[in-house]
């Protein structure tokens, strides 16, 4: 069939990026994460996939790195991690400036509405993909997001022109796949789509399900689903979008301008020569004075020999004579150095240290801020005074000022510091830890000897022989941990012996048994027979299983059941994996916690069971080249560990 006259001109794809708009809330959050950063952290990568226009930019860069690759086979999050940060920073900065120049209340309201619809569709597409076994659910999320690209084209005369412009932009990306077809056939009649590619059917079904009213043919493109399942999926997708809307709120122009200023300061600090010294500390103090109204700077350098913070001349000014012993001190400077974070104190606070009160009074200020400066051997604290309003700005965004100070003061120790001699504080602590580890080895050896004697006396038929074996193995594990600390964490081959995973699971259940007492929780093991032995790090496997098992037991109600299973799985490439699954029947993990589930946080173990342990579990699983998945709902939570089999 001949092309119609409505086809956009050839340069439409190349000019698309200058004629479209991103969500300002996503842009400003990205600006906060990218300032002074050499790369994209996990949160920045997640933010990229929350905006259709930024996702398109990223997809173009991914295609440059993987020309003619099949999009379905790409690991999108891994590909995003390798994107050049300087290019992304320029996109984001341009987008924020564009928002400042063209923002209006009416446009912001429409943008919020379109963005909410886009992330709702993306969430539903991913849920449908997971339910129907589509091989790359992240691609389904991306397709659901990008099908809404036309809504983000600013200067299109008609909706059809916006669609054609967006279609040309998608088609210009040299990746093989069906992203462009979701827009090409978005309004095609049902009969035309019966044999379309699965990705197209997923996206167009999601769009129909989210229509108001929902058409009768909403799910004709997919296998029949129970009404209750569809209702729950729609509810979850909309809840996810509502949560993101609360988190990613449209930023007022005044706040966007502040974020641009902060970003520029962080970038400038990151571009300073990679060294410490008075000049850069003075530059930081001058910046805080000019931009934040903070004055009377005092720089305290770390004297490693005496474990004290000592005042240093700054900008030719004679400093007040301060030598602050760190041990037992509550001064803001000491807390800033130890926590590696910005500390703000006010004169009226009852717990403000005496030295801080004296400095505030001398400066005729309302309070002071202490910022840790530098890293490693070039550490110190910059203190600045100010009035309530200026200090409250720092207290409201301590991460920005902490990062700024660290960037300014980073670098090797100065010649004066190197000549001072002495053991650095961190090295001294490390030396103490090494001495303690050496001493711990002796009682551990004695315990193991007596355990062996006890085992011989009881004989192999004793009822507790299995428990004694577990204790002996755990003592060996402690010994390996101690030995690793003594030898700078060197790899220990003893931990990589062949492992019977079913026996390991049974041992971890026995170790966790004391946790069951008083709650009446039952552990049901469903272990597949004939599993191959693993050559992975046995200690890591133990820690993974025990952490997840203890979490499940803690999350289970009185009289509940925890199910632990093992199995062999095959993926679409016929690759074999060993799966370990642990399921509880607790209240489930709140939806708003799922996106940051494996990030280290402090938790009271109240709502769900996600704290520091899950961060460790994820790290250990990935160190074994495995993956971890979590599924949670009102009926409980399941964690699935998949380990590749050679």
DSSP string, 260-317: HHHHHHHHHHHTS-S--SHHHHHHHHHHHHHHH--EEEEEEEEETTTTEEEEE-BTTB
Under the banding of pLDDT at 50, 70 and 90, the label for residue 154 is confident
Residues 230-264 pLDDT 10s? 888 888 888 888 888 877 776 666 667 777 777 77
Under the banding of pLDDT at 50, 70 and 90, the label for residue 96 is confident
Query: The tokens of 377 are what?
Result: 């051997």
Range of lowest pLDDT (58-67, 87-96, 412-421, 577-586): 412-421
* Amino acid 439: pLDDT: 52
**Long-range contacts of residues 309-317, Cβ cutoff 8 Å, at least 24 apart:** 309/333, 309/334, 309/337, 309/380, 309/381, 312/278, 312/380, 313/278, 314/278, 314/281, 314/282, 314/285, 315/278, 315/282, 315/285
Chain centroid to CA 131? 25
Mean pLDDT score, 531-547: 85
- Give the whole-angstrom CA distance, residue 118 versus residue 55: 12
Mean pLDDT score, 111-126: 90
Chain centroid to CA 513? 33
Contact 35, 263 (CB under 8 A): yes
**In which residue are the tokens 């027979």 written?**
529
Phi, psi for 57 (deg, rounded to 5) = -55, -50
What average pLDDT is seen over the chain?
Answer: 78
pLDDT(610) > 50: no
Mean pLDDT score, 546-563: 87
Q: Assign 217 to helix, strand or coil.
A: coil
Q: 417 or 590: whose pLDDT is higher?
A: 590
**Largest interatomic CA distance in the chain:** 94
What is the pairing mode between strands 522-527 and 380-386?
unpaired
- Give the whole-angstrom CA distance, residue 260 versus residue 35: 9
pLDDT(381) > 70: yes
pLDDT(156) > 80: no
Contact 301, 380 (CB under 8 A): yes
Highest mean pLDDT among 146-160, 456-470, 502-516: 146-160
Rg value, the chain, Cα? 29
- Give the whole-angstrom CA distance, residue 190 versus residue 218: 10
- pTM comes to 0.54
Residues 263-306 pLDDT 10s? 777 777 676 555 445 677 887 888 788 778 888 999 998 887 77
Q: What is the DSSP string of 546-610?
A: HHHHHHHHHHSPTT-EEEEEEEEEE-TT--EEEEEEEEE-SS---HHHHTTTTS-----S-SSS-
Q: What is the DSSP string of 357-370?
A: HHHHHHHT-SEEEE
Label residue 205 left, alpha or beta by phi (over 0 means left) and psi (-120 to 50 means alpha).
alpha
Query: The tokens of 47 are what?
Result: 């933010």
Q: 226 or 367: whose pLDDT is higher?
A: 367
Mean pLDDT score, 447-453: 64
Mean pLDDT score, 575-587: 90
Distances (CA, A) of 178 to 124, 173, 340: 18, 11, 47
- Give the whole-angstrom CA distance, residue 411 versus residue 277: 9
Query: The tokens of 413 are what?
Result: 């120790």
Under the banding of pLDDT at 50, 70 and 90, the label for residue 606 is very low
Residues 388-438 pLDDT 10s? 988 988 888 888 888 888 776 654 433 333 333 333 444 444 455 555 555
Q: Assign 24 to helix, strand or coil.
A: helix
């Amino acid at each position: 069939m001949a092309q119609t006259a409505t086809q956009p001109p050839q340069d439409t794809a190349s000019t698309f990026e200058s004629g479209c708009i991103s969500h300002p809330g996503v842009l400003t959050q990205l600006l906060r994460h990218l300032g002074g950063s050499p790369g994209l952290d996990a949160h920045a990568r997640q933010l990229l996939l929350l905006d259709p226009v930024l996702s398109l930019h990223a997809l173009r860069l991914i295609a440059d790195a993987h020309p003619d690759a099949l999009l379905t086979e790409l690991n999108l999050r891994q590909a995003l991690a390798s994107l050049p940060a300087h290019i992304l920073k320029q996109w984001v900065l341009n987008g924020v400036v564009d928002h400042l120049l063209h923002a209006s209340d009416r446009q912001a309201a429409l943008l919020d509405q379109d963005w909410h619809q886009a992330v709702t569709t993306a969430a539903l597409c991913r849920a449908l993909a997971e339910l129907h076994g589509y091989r790359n659910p992240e691609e389904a999320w991306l397709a659901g997001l990008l099908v809404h690209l036309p809504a983000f084209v600013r200067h299109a005369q008609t909706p059809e022109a916006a669609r054609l412009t967006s279609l040309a932009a998608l088609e210009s990306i040299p990746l093989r796949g069906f992203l462009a077809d979701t827009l090409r056939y978005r309004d095609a009649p049902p009969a035309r789509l019966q044999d379309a590619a699965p990705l197209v059917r997923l996206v167009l079904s999601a769009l129909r399900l989210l229509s108001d009213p929902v058409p009768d043919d909403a799910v004709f493109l997919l296998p029949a689903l129970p009404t209750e399942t569809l209702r729950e999926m729609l509810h979850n997708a909309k809840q996810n979008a509502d949560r993101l809307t609360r988190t990613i709120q449209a930023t007022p122009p005044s706040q966007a301008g502040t974020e641009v200023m902060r970003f520029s300061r962080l970038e400038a600090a990151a571009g300073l020569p990679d060294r410490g010294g008075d000049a850069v500390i003075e530059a930081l103090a001058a910046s805080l004075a000019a931009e934040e109204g903070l004055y009377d700077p005092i720089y305290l350098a770390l004297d490693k020999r005496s474990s004290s913070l000592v005042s240093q001349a700054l900008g030719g000014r004679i400093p007040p004579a301060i030598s602050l012993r760190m041990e037992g001190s509550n001064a803001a400077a000491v807390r800033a150095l130890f926590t590696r974070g910005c500390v703000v104190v006010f004169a009226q606070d009852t717990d403000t240290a005496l030295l801080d009160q004296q400095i505030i009074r001398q400066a005729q200020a309302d309070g002071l801020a202490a910022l840790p400066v530098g890293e490693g051997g070039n550490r110190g604290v910059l203190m600045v005074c100010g009035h309530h309003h200026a200090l409250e700005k720092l207290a409201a965004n301590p991460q920005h000022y902490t990062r700024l100070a660290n960037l300014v003061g980073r670098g090797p120790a100065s010649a004066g510091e190197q000549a001072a001699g002495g053991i650095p504080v961190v090295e001294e602590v490390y030396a103490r830890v090494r001495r303690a580890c050496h001493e711990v080895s002796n009682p551990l050896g004695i315990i193991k000897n007596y355990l062996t004697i006890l085992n011989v006396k009881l004989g192999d038929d004793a009822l507790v022989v299995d428990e004694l074996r577990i204790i002996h193995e755990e003592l060996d594990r402690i010994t390996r941990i101690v030995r690793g600390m003594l030898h700078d964490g060197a790899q220990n081959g003893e931990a990589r012996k062949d492992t019977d995973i079913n026996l390991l699971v049974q041992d971890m259940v026995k170790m966790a048994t004391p946790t069951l007492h008083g709650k009446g929780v039952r552990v049901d093991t469903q272990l597949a027979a004939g599993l191959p032995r693993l050559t992975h790090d046995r200690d890591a496997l133990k820690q993974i299983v025990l952490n997840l098992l203890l979490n499940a037991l803690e999350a289970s109600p009185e009289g509940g059941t925890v199910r632990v299973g093992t199995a062999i799985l095959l993926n679409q490439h016929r690759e074999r994996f060993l799966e370990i699954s642990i399921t509880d029947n607790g209240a489930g993990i709140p939806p708003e916690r799922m996106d940051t589930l494996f990030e280290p946080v402090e938790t009271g173990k109240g709502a769900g069971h996600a704290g520091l342990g899950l961060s460790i579990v994820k790290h250990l699983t990935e160190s074994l080249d495995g993956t971890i998945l979590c599924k949670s709902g009102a009926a409980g939570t399941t964690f699935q560990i998949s380990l590749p089999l050679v």
